């Protein structure tokens, strides 16, 4: 009886082995391709369970998440032929799996190395167009923005997408950092002195202009005041003349009383004079009136 069951057991085992070797799983964080003797067969495979030809097809899986690679201590030359030490990192991910497999063999380190060379060429071209001072005072986004577009186009031949490039550190070699920073300090000091001198000159000009306008305003105000005062005095004179012209005798008497008040009205004053003359006319005639 066992001999009769043997063919079924063998057939079941072969079917199970065929089924196990015909299935493969791709995780959520992966993407895969199917190859035969090194040649890509069919489209890429996303997450899930898929079929393949057993013992013939090979499945190559790749990371579909963003990959970060750091590059430390890379040296670049400025337009002044000064060396710069730059640390930067690159974020990238696979965009075309087939192209990525053909160009790098599916090895992440190989793709990262080629990507690093492309980004380095972009940074080199940006640094070579600028002086050391321009690079130091520039913002990091302005520094990396010029070469990001070029690098993004260049990495398409690798089947990958450049997500981001960031400069972490810009430093100078020890043998030149002291002299370079000293020259930069002198340059900034000269710039500060020039700006202060320009500011002082502008301040003097503004003060002189303000003083001139103040003088003009005061002169105009004084002129108008004198004119108004003169017109007022003239109007008062006309009014007084019209009023006192009606009784000249009374006007003379009133003016004499004012003169007496101003001259004799102070306490403690003593006059020793002869009461004669026009000034004492009304005093002398007070008894007659």
The per-residue pLDDT for 14 is 58
CA distance 136 to 85: 12
Q: Determine the length of the chain.
A: 289
121 versus 8: which is more confidently predicted? 121
67 versus 13: which is more confidently predicted? 67
Domain range for residue 41?
A: 2-63
Give yes or no: residues 28 and 98 share one domain: no
Please indicate, yes or no, if residue 46 is contained in any of the structural domains: yes
Please indicate, yes or no, if residue 200 is contained in any of the structural domains: no
pLDDT at 274 exceeding the cut of 70: no
CATH assignment at residue 117:
3.30.479.30
Please indicate, yes or no, if residue 180 is contained in any of the structural domains: no
CA distance 277 to 281: 7
The per-residue pLDDT for 16 is 59
The pLDDT tens digits for 6-44 are 665 556 565 555 656 677 888 888 888 788 877 777 777
Give yes or no: residues 49 and 26 share one domain: yes
The pLDDT tens digits for 195-245 are 999 999 999 999 999 999 999 999 999 999 999 999 998 888 888 777 777
Give yes or no: residues 84 and 161 share one domain: yes
Q: Domain boundary at 154, 172, 190, which?
A: 172
pLDDT at 172 exceeding the cut of 50: yes
Give yes or no: residues 47 and 134 share one domain: no
Give yes or no: residues 40 and 96 share one domain: no
**Token pair for residue 236?**
């008062």
Computed on alpha carbons and rounded to an integer, the radius of gyration of the chain in Å comes to 53
Average pLDDT, the chain: 77
Answer yes or no: are the C-beta atoms of 158 and 115 closer than 8 Å.
yes
Determine whether 92 is exposed, middle or buried from the number of CB atoms within 10 Å of its CB (0-12, 13-18, 19+). Answer: buried
**Token pair for residue 99?**
């192209």
Range of 2-6, 67-71, 123-127, 192-196 with top mean pLDDT: 192-196
Q: For the beta carbon of residue 149, count every other beta carbon within 10 angstroms.
A: 11
Q: Quick one: average pLDDT of 251-257?
A: 74
The per-residue pLDDT for 2 is 46
């Amino acid at each position: 009886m066992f001999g009769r069951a043997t063919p079924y057991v063998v057939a079941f085992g072969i079917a199970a082995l065929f089924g196990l070797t015909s299935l493969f799983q791709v995780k959520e964080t992966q993407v895969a391709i199917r190859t035969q003797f090194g040649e890509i067969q069919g489209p890429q495979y996303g997450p899930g369970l898929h079929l393949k030809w057993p013992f013939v097809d090979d499945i190559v899986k790749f990371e579909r998440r963003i990959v970060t690679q750091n590059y430390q201590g890379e040296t670049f030359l400025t337009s002044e032929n000064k060396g710069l030490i730059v640390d930067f990192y690159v974020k990238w991910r696979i965009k075309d799996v087939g192209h990525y497999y053909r160009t790098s063999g599916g090895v992440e380190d190989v793709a990262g190395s080629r990507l690093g060379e492309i980004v380095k060429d972009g940074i080199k071209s940006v640094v070579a167009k600028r002086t050391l001072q321009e690079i130091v005072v520039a913002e990091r986004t302005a520094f990396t923005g010029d070469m990001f577009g070029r690098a993004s186009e260049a990495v398409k031949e690798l089947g990958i997408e450049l997500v981001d490039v960031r400069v972490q550190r810009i430093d100078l070699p020890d043998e030149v950092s002291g002299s370079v920073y000293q020259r930069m300090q002198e340059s900034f000091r000269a710039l500060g002195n020039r700006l202060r001198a320009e500011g002082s000159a502008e301040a003097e000009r503004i003060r002189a202009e303000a003083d001139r306008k103040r003088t003009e305003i005061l002169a105009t105000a004084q002129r108008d005041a004198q004119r108004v005062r003169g017109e007022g005095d003239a109007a008062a004179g006309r009014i007084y003349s019209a009023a006192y012209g009606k009784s000249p005798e009374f006007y003379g008497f009133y003016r004499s009383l004012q003169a007496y008040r101003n001259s004799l009205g102070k306490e403690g004053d003593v006059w020793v004079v002869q009461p004669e003359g026009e000034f004492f006319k009304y005093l002398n005639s007070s008894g007659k009136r």
